[in-house]
Chains A and B, each alone.
Chain A
Amino acid sequence: MAPSESRVLSAPMKVEFDYTRSLGPVLSRFMSALAQQQVLGGVLADGRVVVPPPEFDPVTHAAVTELVPVSSAGVVQTWTWVTEPVKDQPLDRPFAFAHVLLDGSDAPILHAVSVDSPAAMSTGMRVKVRWADEPTGTIRDIAWFEPVGDEEPAPSASVETTGEPEITGIISPVNLEYMYAASPEESKFFRGLAEGRILGQRCPKCQKVYVPPRGACPVDGVPTAEEIELPDRGTVTTFCIVNVPFQGQKIPIPYVSAYVLLDGADIAFLHLILECDAADVRMGMRVEAVWKPREEWTTDLNNIKYFRPTGEPDAEYETYKQHL
C-alpha cells in the first residue's frame, strides 16, 4: 500500500512479552502430572471431579486439596470447527475446539481435537489425548485429542500422585501483531518530515501551537485544524544528562536528552543535543536541527539526527518560562 494513497500512515507492529507465573499447590500437581502423561482432576465438596482442577470449590470456596487421576480418554460434549486457525493454536490446520468429558470426571476440559473435516466430528464421539513429544509441564503437554478407534480400548490411568510436584511455574509467551496507524494529524507531521518540514497545528480557541499536532487541543478539547510550519531551531527548556548505560544504546554516554521549544511553538518536544559537551547544555540554550542527508529522509522523526547549539545568545527565561 503506497502511504500517499491513504489518509493515515500505518506500519506493522509486534508486541511480545512472556509472563512467568508461579503455580499454586493444585496447578503444580496438575502440571507435574501432565508432564508424566497423566491427567488429574480436582474433587469438589459435592464429590464431583473437575478437570482442570479448580484451586477453590466454586460453591463452598474451600481450597481444593484432593486430586485424583482420570482417564486420558473421554467423550466430546460440544465442539466448534476452526476453519481458519490463528497463530499458536494447538494445530495450524483446520481442527475442532471441543469440550471433552474425560472418563472419571464430571466437568469437561477445553482442548483441540484433530480430525480432517467437520464431518468427522460429532457430539458423543470418543477421543483420547495425543501427548506432546517433549513434556513442558504446561497444558500444551496435551498436544490435542484424536478419535479413539473401535479396536482401541480406552487407556487406563496409572496412579502416581504422591511426592512433591516438580513443576511449580510456567512461562506463557504472548505475542500480538497489529497494523498500527498514526492519527491523520500525526500522519501529516511525518509526511512533512519526509520533505524536511516540521508541521504543527494551532488551536482555534487558545491559539496555542502544538507540535507534533494532536488532533485536539488538550486544553480546549476542540479539533486543531490550522496547519503551521515551524522553523527547525528553538530553545532548550529543560534537559537531562543520560549517564546510565542500557541495552540498545547507540550514543556514547554521557549525552543530553532535552525538550526543545521550536520558535513559534507552544509545546516542546524531546530530542537529543549533541556536538557539545553535556556539561555545557543549559536551559535557554539556542539550538538547531541537524538533518540526515536528504536522500535518507523518510516519514520518521529520525530524519532529524539531533539538535546542536547555534551559538546565539541564550533565550531570556521570560520567553520560555510558561512552557516548562
Chain B
Amino acid sequence: MRDVAVVAFSQRQMKEMDGSPTCVELLVPIFGELYEQTGWTKKDIDFWCSGSSDYLAGRSFSFVSAVDAIGALPPVMESHVEMDAAWALYEAWVKIQTGEIDTAAVYGFGKASAGVLRRTLSLQLDPYTVQPLWPDTVSLNGLQAREGLEKGLWDEKATAEVVARSMTDAAANEWAIRKGATSVDDVLAQPMYADPLRRWDIAPVSDGAAAIVIAAGDKAYEARETPAWITGFEHRIEPIALNARDLTTSTSTALAGRAAGTAGVDLAELHAPFSHQEIILREALGLASDVTVNPSGGALTANPMFTAGLNRIGEASRRIWAGESEKALAHSTSGPVLQQNLVCTLASKKGSN
C-alpha cells in the first residue's frame, strides 16, 4: 500500500446560507485555504472528487456547476459521488493506491435549508413499500432510539450526556451551529419533539461545504511537516430494509472498524446525527472509555449533508497535525438509519495498521 496523508482541510458551515445551491461562493474561499495550507496551486492537484446531491436544493447537475470553483480550463480529472464526501475521499485514496495519481482534492457541499430535509431524505428509501409513506428521517431514527431505550441498551441520561458534552465542546468550534455550555439537566428539561427525541437529540439542519487534500509519500511532506497518515480506510453497507437488520447495533460500522484497525486510537470523530447513534457507534467500534470523542462537537452540533462525514476526517486530521492525537479514528455515515458506514484511521506515523 502507498502511504497517503491528509495535508489540508477547510470548512464552512451555517444554519442558512444566503447563496446558490452550487455553493460556488463557499467553495472558492475553501479552495483558497487549501492552496494556502499546502503552498500548492491547482496544477499540483492531480484529481478532484466531490460528494453532493441535487435533491437537497433542487438544482439539477449542481456538481457540474460547482466545478467552476476549481477553474476547470484546461480540463481537470474529476469525479463525483452522491454520498457524503468521505466516500469521495475513499475514491480518491483508491485512485492514489493504483499509482495513477499522487495528490487529490476532495470536497462536499449542500444547501439543505432550501427544502424540507427530513422529507427529502425519504427519497433514499425503498421506492415500492416504504418511500410512498414519506417516512421522514427524524421518525425513522426515532424508531431506533426507542428500541435501544426500551431494550435497556442506554437511557435518557446517557443520550443527554452526549448532547451536553457535544454542545459544550462545540463552543470552541467556530463553525458549529448549535453550541454553548450545556448540562445534562438542561437537556432533560427540553420538551419532547419527536418522542422519544428532543430537538437537541437531532442534528440541526445545516448548510455548508468542506474540502480536504490528500497526498502520497514525499509529496505529503512537501505540503505539511506533520501530515496525518491514513492507516486504515474501510466502508461497509447493510440492507436498505430496516426490518432486515437489528437497529440497535451497527454491524457495518463494527466490520469497517475491525478491517481498518482501531487499536491505539486515542481520539474519535464520529458522524452521529442523532445523540443515541454516538452510543451505538462507540459500542460497534469498541472504543475504550478514555478515547476522546467528538472534541469538535460532532455532527450533533452541525450536520451539513454530504460534508459532515468528510468534516470528521478533517477534524481528526487537525488533531494529528497539532500533536494532540497520535492515532485518531474518523467515521462517516450515509443512507437511512446508519445503513452505510465508513471508518478512516489516521496517525502521526506512517504505516498501515
Query: Per-residue CB proximity of B21-45 to A under 8 Å, as 1/0?
Result: 1101101110100000000001000
Query: Per-residue CB proximity of B137-164 to A under 8 Å, as 1/0?
Result: 0111111111100100000000000000
Q: Contact: B134 with A86, CB < 8 Å? A: yes
B133 touches which one: A80, A107, A140, A220 (CB < 8 A)?
A140
B243 touches which one: A86, A99, A123, A139 (CB < 8 A)?
A99
Q: Contact: B25 with A97, CB < 8 Å? A: no
A261 CB to closest chain B CB (Å) equals 18
Complex: how many Å from CA A182 to CA B24? Answer: 11
B241 near A: Cβ within 8 Å?
yes
A78 near B: Cβ within 8 Å?
yes
Q: Contact: B133 with A98, CB < 8 Å? A: no
B20 contacts which chain A residues (CB < 8 A)? Answer: 8, 181-183, 186, 215
B68 near A: Cβ within 8 Å?
yes
How many A residues touch B, CB cutoff 8 Å? 65
B132 contacts which chain A residues (CB < 8 A)? Answer: 138-140, 170, 172
A173 CB to closest chain B CB (Å) equals 9
How many B residues touch A, CB cutoff 8 Å? 64
B115 near A: Cβ within 8 Å?
yes
Closest A residue, CB atoms, query B148: A78
Query: Per-residue CB proximity of B220-244 to A under 8 Å, as 1/0?
Result: 0000000000000000000101111
Closest A residue, CB atoms, query B17: A181
A159 near B: Cβ within 8 Å?
no
Q: Which of A33-78 contact B (CB under 8 A)?
A: 50-52, 54, 58, 77-78
Complex: how many Å from CA A15 to CA B55? Answer: 10
Complex: how many Å from CA A279 to CA B58? Answer: 38
Among A87-95, A301-309, A313-321, the stretch that binds chain B is A87-95
B190 contacts which chain A residues (CB < 8 A)? Answer: none
Q: Which of A189-216 contact B (CB under 8 A)?
A: 214-216
Among B175-183, B194-202, B249-257, the stretch that binds chain A is B194-202
Q: Contact: B73 with A219, CB < 8 Å? A: yes
Q: Contact: A215 with B28, CB < 8 Å? A: yes
Among A19-27, A149-157, A226-234, A282-290, the stretch that binds chain B is A19-27
A86 touches which one: B111, B123, B136, B140 (CB < 8 A)?
B136
Complex: how many Å from CA A121 to CA B67? Answer: 50
A182 contacts which chain B residues (CB < 8 A)? Answer: 20
B72 near A: Cβ within 8 Å?
yes
B26 CB to closest chain A CB (Å) equals 10
B28 touches which one: A82, A110, A186, A223 (CB < 8 A)?
A223
B322 near A: Cβ within 8 Å?
no
Q: Contact: A218 with B196, CB < 8 Å? A: no
Q: Contact: B127 with A172, CB < 8 Å? A: yes
Closest B residue, CB atoms, query A87: B119
A23 CB to closest chain B CB (Å) equals 7
Closest B residue, CB atoms, query A220: B71
Complex: how many Å from CA A80 to CA B147? Answer: 10
A216-B69, A223-B28 known; A82-B18 Cβ under 8 A: no
A78-B146, A80-B139, A216-B71 known; A108-B243 Cβ under 8 A: yes
Complex: how many Å from CA A202 to CA B174? Answer: 33
Q: Contact: B138 with A54, CB < 8 Å? A: no
B193 near A: Cβ within 8 Å?
yes
Q: Which of B49-72 contact A (CB under 8 A)?
A: 55, 57-59, 67-72
Q: Contact: B28 with A52, CB < 8 Å? A: no
Q: Contact: B194 with A83, CB < 8 Å? A: yes
A245 near B: Cβ within 8 Å?
no
A29 near B: Cβ within 8 Å?
no
Closest A residue, CB atoms, query B119: A86
Q: Contact: A170 with B128, CB < 8 Å? A: yes
Q: Contact: A54 with B120, CB < 8 Å? A: no
A217 contacts which chain B residues (CB < 8 A)? Answer: 68, 71
Q: Contact: B139 with A21, CB < 8 Å? A: no
Complex: how many Å from CA A177 to CA B193? Answer: 23
A254 near B: Cβ within 8 Å?
no
Complex: how many Å from CA A96 to CA B297? Answer: 31
A244 near B: Cβ within 8 Å?
no
Complex: how many Å from CA A51 to CA B69? Answer: 47
A7-B18, A107-B244 known; A27-B128 Cβ under 8 A: yes
A6-B18, A108-B243, A215-B68 known; A123-B73 Cβ under 8 A: no
Most chain A CB neighbours (cut-off 10 Å) among B42, B55, B135 = B135
Complex: how many Å from CA A74 to CA B28? Answer: 55
Closest B residue, CB atoms, query A218: B68
B116 contacts which chain A residues (CB < 8 A)? Answer: 86-87, 177
A13 near B: Cβ within 8 Å?
yes
B130 near A: Cβ within 8 Å?
yes
Q: Contact: B18 with A181, CB < 8 Å? A: yes
B195 contacts which chain A residues (CB < 8 A)? Answer: 80-81, 83, 118, 121
Closest A residue, CB atoms, query B27: A216
Which A residues are closer than 8 A to B by beta carbons?
A: 6-8, 13, 15, 19, 21, 23, 27, 30, 50-52, 54, 58, 77-83, 86-90, 97-99, 107-112, 118, 121, 123, 138-140, 170, 172, 174, 176-184, 186, 214-223
What are 10 A-B contacts defined by CB distance under 8 Å? Answer: A7-B19, A8-B18, A21-B127, A50-B243, A77-B147, A176-B120, A215-B24, A218-B73, A221-B42, A221-B69
Which B residues are closer than 8 A to A by beta carbons?
A: 18-22, 24-25, 27-29, 31, 42, 55, 57-59, 67-73, 111, 114-116, 118-120, 123, 127-136, 138-147, 150, 192-197, 239, 241-244, 247
Nearest first, the 4 closest Cβ-Cβ pairs linking A and B are A221-B71, A80-B142, A183-B20, A81-B195
Beyond known contacts A86-B118, A98-B143, A221-B42: 7 more, CB 8 A cutoff: A8-B19, A52-B128, A54-B244, A99-B243, A176-B55, A180-B59, A217-B68
